[in-house]
Structure 1
């Protein structure tokens, strides 16, 4: 063989080796929305950890609205349009009925750690996994959010009666809770909330603090409820089952073993949001509305019982183990508090 042919053979071998290395790299497209914020920090942290553990061979390409909108992320997962996505159960309860147990009002969840505990328990239930598998989706981790409260314009609702006729952006069980005290809930997306409040389509918006920042409703707010705490929404991160199963053992291990650390980072980061929120209320002169224990008890009595009963009936009629799912939440909450 001539020197020229030897050089050519060597170049081909190098190119082949380089090509093989490139082929082994895995990039997952991740569909989220809005902008980077506390709500998505665990996804970024997870991506950093996975890349680190695989020496850059497994990475995330996180897209804010470039792949899909939030109400269609589960559909995108189902057809493999992207490998990972975040969505909220209340956007399409008919598509994920088992998850709606986590959006029932007044479940008694008080902290982000408790929210993680109850979410993980429900995500691990066979009925929930079967439910999401219809969309070729595997539940990866939750996006724990604090109890929602309301920011609004106009007269502050200092009594429950003041919610009569109020148009409020609130989804899922939270929206139904407000309906029981005379408000009219609407499920405009988070991205539409500012324009809806500014134009008068809604008078108020129920969000967690980070979302009031991210979607700028704090810039319009004249009042804020400090302790209404009717519930929260549940927003899982899911992955396409086929994509998950196609990972190498090392990649799958890196992903699975990084979840707890990503969630811990999320919770730590959210603590800073609480501090910023109180400072923003002071700076903007937003009126704080704090309810008495008796007022909260009346709201809970009106909302929790009726909505829970209706939910149990509807889910059972669909053939779902509704009582079992609700008990799963109660048991997980008790266990997270050191009960037995």
Structure 2
């Protein structure tokens, strides 16, 4: 009987090892708090767990694993399996996707932002550059065109922008610099303190971030239609972790991406639908910039910055013109 009991215990132990081996647990590094910007990550975790009966789970951490500027580094060394980052945080590490941050590209909505991001993410140059960081581009975090909040008298002309200290990263920061503003690239989580402490006069964000990071609470005005551009913030996975997934778990992950993006878009549409009521509630003036001012802004910022970006990428051995043309084509196709 003792021999039989030992055999049964041994079999149970081996079975438990097999069950444990079949389970997959990923850590996911994001920042801030749960908000519209992270809803696709949360939905992805939910869907993957459902499709695998709880065998593949994701622990989404809001700042507990890494600082937002260090998420790509964390992915590269395998500190966690998935992360979200923004291209403007370290442009030298993700040069290819910065084409999506060029000002005044003409993207009109989030669906179009998804389309152009997918096209660039699928380009071999993007795949190869991310592979240097052991990262695979999984999905974008589409955001509307950025607009300013500020205090004091509203800035409505290009001359008003001269000397304006603005929290703006990437191509948006370059655009404001082109008209005499002084951009600073403090992170999203630092923006409120920068505004409160007078380090910046204005902050450029999408609507959800003005809410999530509290900048709207200090604002007296908001530019409704400046629309200089947006930032590109991918969700990436560690290549080794991705390739070590079982076929079943990899399929659960891959097949959940589009549904997660659809959920994100639907959730963001609700936020945009109530934005005017948010402005009224917080007594924030909705400023409409004149068409001729926007045209002047575009003339000074769009073409020169685009041409310089292409020249810079080509000098580094990257297909700058090809990438820009890809964005133009993908955008045109999305608008059809």
Shorter chain as denominator, the TM-score bin is over 0.9
1:151 aligned to which of 149, 152, 156: 149
**TM alignment of 1:1-340, pairs within 5 A:** 3-338=1-336
What displacement does 1:197 show?
A: 0.2
For 1:142-167, what per-residue CA distance to the aligned partner results, in whole angstroms no more than 9, with x for missing partners? 00000000001122102221111110
Give the whole-Å Cα distance in 2 for the aligned partners of 1:276 and 1:40.
Answer: 19
What displacement does 1:15 show?
A: 2.4
TM-score of the two chains, using structure 2 as the length reference: 0.99
- Counterpart secondary structure, 1:99: helix
Give the whole-Å Cα distance in 1 for the aligned partners of 2:193 and 2:87.
Answer: 23
For 1:212-245, what per-residue CA distance to the aligned partner results, in whole angstroms no more than 9, with x for missing partners? 0110001100110000000000000000111100
Point out where structure 2 has 5 or more consecutive residues left out of the alignment.
Answer: none
What displacement does 1:111 show?
A: 0.6
* Greater Cα offset, 312-321 or 271-280: 271-280
4+ residue runs of structure 1 moved beyond 6 angstroms?
none
- Counterpart secondary structure, 2:298: helix
- Counterpart secondary structure, 1:157: coil
- Counterpart secondary structure, 1:62: strand
What displacement does 1:299 show?
A: 0.7
For 1:180-217, what per-residue CA distance to the aligned partner results, in whole angstroms no more than 9, with x for missing partners? 11110000000000000000000010000000011000
* Greater Cα offset, 140-149 or 6-15: 6-15
* Greater Cα offset, 293-302 or 109-118: 293-302
* Greater Cα offset, 149-158 or 232-241: 149-158
Give the whole-Å Cα distance in 2 for the aligned partners of 1:22 and 1:280.
Answer: 48
- Counterpart secondary structure, 1:14: helix
Give the whole-Å Cα distance in 2 for the aligned partners of 1:94 and 1:154.
Answer: 36
What displacement does 1:22 show?
A: 1.5
* Greater Cα offset, 169-178 or 3-12: 3-12
Q: For this pair of structures, how many residues does the alignment match?
A: 336
For 1:2-48, what per-residue CA distance to the aligned partner results, in whole angstroms no more than 9, with x for missing partners? x2321232122122212210121000110000000000000010111
For 1:87-146, what per-residue CA distance to the aligned partner results, in whole angstroms no more than 9, with x for missing partners? 000110000100110000000000100000000000000011111111010000000000
* Greater Cα offset, 41-50 or 277-286: 277-286
Give the whole-Å Cα distance in 2 for the aligned partners of 1:155 and 1:245.
Answer: 54
* Greater Cα offset, 134-143 or 280-289: 280-289
